[in-house]
Chain A
Amino acid sequence: MTQTITRPATVVPPPAPPRRKKHRDPSRFVRLHLPLALYLLFTLIPFYWMLVFALRPAGETALVPWPITFEHFDTVWNGIGFGLFFRNSLIIGIGTLVVVTVFALMGGYALARFKFRGQRVFLLALLCTQFIPGAMMLIPLFVIFKNAGLLNSLTGLVIADTAFQLPLALILMSGFVRNVPVELEEAAMVDGCTRLRAFFAVTLPQLRPALVAVGSFAFIGAWNNFLFALMFASRQDKFTLPVGLSYALGEFNTDFGALAAGGVVAAVPVVLVFAVVQRFLVQGLSAGAVKG
């Protein structure tokens, strides 16, 4: 343990471009630019369509609406109650983010840094949970929630979302922890730190990208969860955005403007979060997290 540590501390190797030559290759247009442009159209036209409907005065059909209106946003936010649904979704999303990240960090650290009896069984159980159909568990879950008095409660939804997201988050996190060299932590402990101090001082700062990736995963999952929110929260003041949207789908079959504005409200936070974190996600997965 007196050796100097020579292993580099970088968690993520820089992505290697598969070909370095920068020649003018005419086939690049067919291979690269054309399919990319087509796929971008497929991805973006639906988003644009929603935006147009949300900003266009009712009854108009212009593809580039001008002047734009915010009346649909006023309708959904104040009239239908999307302001409240937004608040509920935000509370559930942030609650789930915090609980999942903390528990995944604890469990992931245990898996990566300790050898203990039952470790393999635990890992296998975590993997098996991925086969459990959440939708098909609705009946017993409903009974549990009813008996525990967790129906129509945001806390209940945080718990349900956490239970279903934690296993995969934990597996991901253990991969991230494994990528932080254990020697750093051991060196700190040789210098007199307790394991806990060593973890907070040395390992945790290195895990920042992992926390961002796992945390936003959890936030997006909870924000988007529909079935649990639909089943366990029937009172309108506990509705989340997906539930509000699903009612908008039925109720306002003619009011596409309101539907689109509600959609924009539901989409903007997660799409923005995801645009920022997708880089960490790809890096983290390619650093070996996916191999568990």
Chain B
Amino acid sequence: MRTRTWAPYALIAPTLLLMAVFLVYPIASVGWFSLRQHTVTQPWKNAFIGLENFRRMLFEDPLFWQSLMFSAKWVVVEVGLQLVLGLVLALIVNETFIGRAVARALVFSPWAVSGVLTTGIWILLYNPSTGVFQQLAQWGIGDPGTSVLGDPATVFPATVVTELWRGVPFFAILLLADLQTIPNDLYEAAAVDGAGRWRRFVSVTLPHLRDAIVLSTLLRAVWEFNNVDLIYTLTGGGPANQTTTLPLYVARKAVDSHDFGYGSALTMAGFAILLFFSVLYLRLSKFGSRA
């Protein structure tokens, strides 16, 4: 559209400014810090040390590898389960039934709840003295005094379920939105051709949802990788660092030991890993190439 050329630039100027100051500059600054020894409590030691932080990270820090492995496990399990449950939920609330509007509002509602609040709610549920397992024990199911968050055997599934409660609605909402754009005649044509319910789902619904699934899993994977609130408040990374993710480890380095240099190197590593896997994922899934 023909127009005076300054108008669009004026309109995006505030966004550009905010992005430059609060997103671009911090990344550059993290990159710079990662090459330095920089500890707030020992400023006399601050100096440029090249790749020393990265050497330390790769070869001398078992907690880096441990937290990275846990991050990977966390992302794969969370995104996988959220996608499957979210898709099932979207298919259910896409059907026509009485009370659908209310059902949608209810099942989507945990999406609006913060990570800290989710922790608060589930600590009430999980607590060994008055929680839900104690209640079940009273009814004769399970043992009384079960502490799912304190037991190394159950802390992971307990944390996963907590995040699922809040995370599934995201997928359900996005996939429901995309389900509603599938033209009805596709289903009718498939039905005329004698396709059963499962066949229609596999040949019509899934291919149509492909781009939405790729995009939502990618966004969610990045988000789950970076998600700190819930794990930080629910388990604090414990017991014995068992549930420490990479960002949680970074936050601890920065906040507890004030080691900005090493924390920045960890951040750069996380950033590089995210970028690498995102590009790989988009390539492998052939995103946007749907005919």
A interface with B by C-beta (< 8 Å) = 15-20, 22, 31-33, 35-36, 39-40, 42-47, 49-50, 53, 61, 63, 103-104, 106-107, 109-111, 113-116, 119, 122, 125, 129-141, 143-144, 159-160, 162-164, 166-167, 170, 182, 195, 220, 223-227, 231, 242-243, 245-246, 248-249, 256, 259-260, 262-263, 266-267, 270-271, 273-275, 278-279, 281-286, 288, 290
B72 part of interface (Cβ distance < 8 Å): no
Instruction: Tell me the dominant secondary structure on chain B's binding face.
Output: helix
Bound Cα distance from A22 to B97, whole angstroms: 10
- B136 CB to nearest chain A CB (Å): 12
Bound Cα distance from A15 to B63, whole angstroms: 50
Bound Cα distance from A290 to B116, whole angstroms: 28
Could you pull out 27 A-B pairs where Cβ atoms are within 8 angstroms?
A19-B96, A19-B187, A20-B184, A22-B96, A32-B97, A36-B92, A43-B165, A44-B106, A106-B15, A109-B11, A110-B7, A110-B11, A113-B1, A114-B1, A122-B16, A131-B222, A131-B278, A136-B267, A139-B33, A163-B19, A164-B23, A223-B114, A224-B113, A224-B115, A262-B120, A274-B108, A286-B181
Report B74-89 CB contacts with A as 1/0, cut-off 8 Å: 0000000000010011
Q: Find A285's partner among B115, B116, B177 (CB 8 Å cutoff).
A: B177
Do B123 and A137 touch across chains, with their CB atoms under 8 A apart?
no
Q: Find A17's partner among B96, B112, B176, B266 (CB 8 Å cutoff).
A: B96
Interface residues of B in 108-160 (CB under 8 A from A): 108-117, 119-125, 127, 130, 132, 135
Interface residues of B in 249-291 (CB under 8 A from A): 250-251, 254-255, 260, 263-264, 266-267, 270-271, 274-275, 278
Q: How large is the interface on B (under 10, 10 to 19, 20 to 34, 35 or more residues)?
A: 35 or more
Q: Find A106's partner among B11, B23, B215 (CB 8 Å cutoff).
A: B11
Which residue from chain B places its CB closest to the CB of A269 in the assembled complex?
B112
Contacts A125-B19, A139-B33 given; does A130 touch B177 at CB 8 Å: no
B22 part of interface (Cβ distance < 8 Å): yes
- A255 CB to nearest chain B CB (Å): 11
Do B19 and A135 touch across chains, with their CB atoms under 8 A apart?
no
Do A263 and B22 touch across chains, with their CB atoms under 8 A apart?
no
- B291 CB to nearest chain A CB (Å): 16
Contacts A43-B109, A226-B115 given; does A132 touch B92 at CB 8 Å: no
Do A36 and B103 touch across chains, with their CB atoms under 8 A apart?
yes
12 more CB-based (< 8 A) A-B contacts, given A35-B88, A61-B130, A159-B18: A42-B165, A131-B271, A136-B30, A163-B22, A164-B23, A224-B114, A225-B114, A246-B116, A271-B112, A274-B108, A281-B173, A286-B176
B8 part of interface (Cβ distance < 8 Å): yes
B192 part of interface (Cβ distance < 8 Å): no
Bound Cα distance from A104 to B267, whole angstroms: 29
B94 part of interface (Cβ distance < 8 Å): yes
Do A16 and B180 touch across chains, with their CB atoms under 8 A apart?
yes
Do B30 and A164 touch across chains, with their CB atoms under 8 A apart?
no
Q: Find A290's partner among B27, B215, B228, B263 (CB 8 Å cutoff).
A: B215
